[in-house]
């Protein structure tokens, strides 16, 4: 029978606790979600600043839809590049302190397109072992010699760089999406400069969230365009909307316009999304209290989790993973939390390494301290029911 082996593969995933299922949400994105007829406090969204359903952002979208319609109609290089797109690119460039910015339809497409435009056969790309799948896929598909260095280990990277020939590109996440820790960007920038390499940082989980003014990990470390020539950011996390951008020099952006296939051969994101993002960017720049509150909630959660003896990972970001280990046990805890009214994702292989399944708790500026305390109480109760080995 055709595809019978696919059925066997799906059965094996289910038996190993690795089968993934979608949940249908019937409410707007936010900290309170309706799913399957049940209400839950959302602790698994990347909407870190609570902007996905912010009234000003939503109104900007509606107003722009009245002006521009819903679709963009074409790729940027045909007839899809609107004044809304252009204004957002200029504002993102100014926000990140770079010469220019270029919009992409998704973060995955941005990473694939940039890496393939910058390196190819005869070149070399070096990636952190825990990089996001889109970065790894970009490196593997480029045709360049592909090397992975130990997580956040510049000492392992440097001799690899010294042996390489051709163009050299070092690629790293800024804030690692499954662990929540920071890449050692100053050390990576120095190593790249010493070896004549470019450094590319995917700061999807840092922009808007990290840094006094939301400038991300580069603001946190005080790094410039010269230190990090290629910066990628997504708009569906801290910005609360959709899409992605790459920021850097005039030469970089013009090269991507001419060479990045995932930019050239796809429809531009809707202009209404661009206008909504312009509204969210203004909130990011002016409402510092959101980052301050988020930092307070992170500290409260970590303190409470440590008092309960939960195995946290070393993260000061809104991503707060609780290491469980066993995939099936992780799913059981996630399901028990949902029954208690809290939505927390169970992250399992292949997203993370075997034996490191975890509950990926993410915090938002829209959460209140009582919600954080309620989640901790639920974790404590579930831990007692399932046994101390549960968490």
Q: What are the catalytic residues? A: 177, 205, 237
Residue ranges of the alpha helices (H) in 78-165?
Answer: 83-96, 107-118, 133-141, 154-163
Determine how many CB atoms are found less than 10 A away from the CB of residue 53: 15
Residue in the block written with tokens 């051709």: 166
**Residue by residue, what is the 3-state secondary structure of 333-369?**
HHHHHHHCCEECEEECCCCCCCCCEEEEEECCCCCCH
User: And the tokens for 49?
Assistant: 């600043």
- C-alpha gyration radius of the chain: 21
Q: Assess contact for 198 and 170: CB atoms under 8 A.
A: yes
Instruction: Please state, in angstroms and rounded to a whole number, the distance separating the CA atoms of residues 325 and 357.
Output: 5
Q: Which of 238, 287, 273 is nearest to 88 (CA)?
A: 273
Instruction: Please state, in angstroms and rounded to a whole number, the distance separating the CA atoms of residues 84 and 68.
Output: 9
Residue in the block written with tokens 């720049």: 285
Instruction: Please state, in angstroms and rounded to a whole number, the distance separating the CA atoms of residues 47 and 240.
Output: 6
Residues β-bridged to residue 304: none
Pseudo-torsion of CA 87, 88, 89, 94, nearest 10°?
90
Determine the Cα angle at 170 with ends 291 and 77, to 5°.
80
Q: Quick one: angle between helices 107-118 and 250-259, nearest 10?
A: 100
User: And the tokens for 239?
Assistant: 């910005």
């Amino acid at each position: 029978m055709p595809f019978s082996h696919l059925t066997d593969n799906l059965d094996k995933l289910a038996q190993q606790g690795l089968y993934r299922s979608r949940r249908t949400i019937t409410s707007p994105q936010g900290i309170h979600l309706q799913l399957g007829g049940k209400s839950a406090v959302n602790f698994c969204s990347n909407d870190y600043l609570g902007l996905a359903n912010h009234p000003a952002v939503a109104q900007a979208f509606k107003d722009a839809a009245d002006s521009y319609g819903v679709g963009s109609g074409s790729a940027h290089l045909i007839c899809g590049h609107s004044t809304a797109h252009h204004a957002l690119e200029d504002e993102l460039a100014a926000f990140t302190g770079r010469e220019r910015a270029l919009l992409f339809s998704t973060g995955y497409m941005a990473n694939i397109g940039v890496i393939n435009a910058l390196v190819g056969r005869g070149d070399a790309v070096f990636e952190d072992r825990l990089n996001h799948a889109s970065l790894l896929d970009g490196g593997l598909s480029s045709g360049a010699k592909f090397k992975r260095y130990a997580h956040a280990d510049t000492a392992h990277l440097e001799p690899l760089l010294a042996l390489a020939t051709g163009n050299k590109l070092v690629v790293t996440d800024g804030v690692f999406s499954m662990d929540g820790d920071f890449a050692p960007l100053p050390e990576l920038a120095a190593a790249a400069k010493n070896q004549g390499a470019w450094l590319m940082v995917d700061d999807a989980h840092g922009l808007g969230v990290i840094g006094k003014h939301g400038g991300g990990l580069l603001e946190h470390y005080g790094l410039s365009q010269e230190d990090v020539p290629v910066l990628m950011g997504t708009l569906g996390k801290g910005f609360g909307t959709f899409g992605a951008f790459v920021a850097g020099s005039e030469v970089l952006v013009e090269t991507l316009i001419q060479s990045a296939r995932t930019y050239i051969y796809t429809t531009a994101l809707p202009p209404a999304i661009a206008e909504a993002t312009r509204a969210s960017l203004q909130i990011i720049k002016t409402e510092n209290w959101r980052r301050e509150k988020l930092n307070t909630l992170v500290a409260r959660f970590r303190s409470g989790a440590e008092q309960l003896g939960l195995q946290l990972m070393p993260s000061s970001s809104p991503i707060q993973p609780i290491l469980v280990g066993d995939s099936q046990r992780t799913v059981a805890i996630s399901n028990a939390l949902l029954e208690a009214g809290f939505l927390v994702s169970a992250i399992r292989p292949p997203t993370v390494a075997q034996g490191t399944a975890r509950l990926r708790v993410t915090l938002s500026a829209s959460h209140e301290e009582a919600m954080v305390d309620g989640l901790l109480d639920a974790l404590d109760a579930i831990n007692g029911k399932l046994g101390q080995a549960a968490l």
